[in-house]
Amino acid sequence: MQLKIRNVTSDDLNAFVEIYKQAYKGLEEYAYTKTKDIKYYFRWLMNRDRDGFFVAEVGDKPVGFVACDANWISFFENEEVGEIHEIFVHPKWQGRGIGSELLLKALDYAKERGRKIAELWVGIGNVKAKRFYEKFGFRESGSWGRWLRMIKEI
């Protein structure tokens, strides 16, 4: 498997939408479900921190995305953090280390930008994702509604 991770461009919009829909099947309570909302979300991520928005490709085929926002000011930390707004991999490509590579790329990006903490929010019922983040040293740090906050010093 030839994995390449590169910065997202506006040409990746359709792949983002399609893979997002596949990745969130069964987790719709934590996701946008309308195509127009997913497209808006993609554009919002591009505008937040274009340099921290990455796509994983096998060959020339997109299979996953991560969006790390190093401009995010954490309400809890009262400083800029590496906020992982989004990470997902197409279900057919899960379990092959692609999500791990995307997360490491995001953490490296945040560290390069001088951030000391990575922060993310995960659906409380998304046990698979919580375990994934815990493998990388993230720990629970509060909750809000259906969302669980996790942080990691980087």
Q: Is residue 152 part of a domain?
A: no
Domain CATH number, residue 67: 3.40.630.30
Whether 120 is in a domain gets the answer no
- Alpha-carbon span 154 to 152, nearest angstrom: 6
Predicted TM-score (pTM) of the model is 0.97
Range of the domain at 76: 3-115
pLDDT over 90 (residue 1): no
- 136 inside domain: no
| Residue 131 forms part of a structural domain | no
In a domain, 125, yes or no: no
CA distances from 106 to 29, 99, 109, 125, 144 (A): 25, 11, 5, 24, 24
Tokens 């195509």 — which residue?
A: 35
- Is 122 contained in some domain? no
What pLDDT, in 10s, does the model give residues 84-142? 999 999 999 999 999 999 999 999 999 999 999 999 999 999 999 999 999 999 999 99
Note whether residue 105 is domain-resident: yes
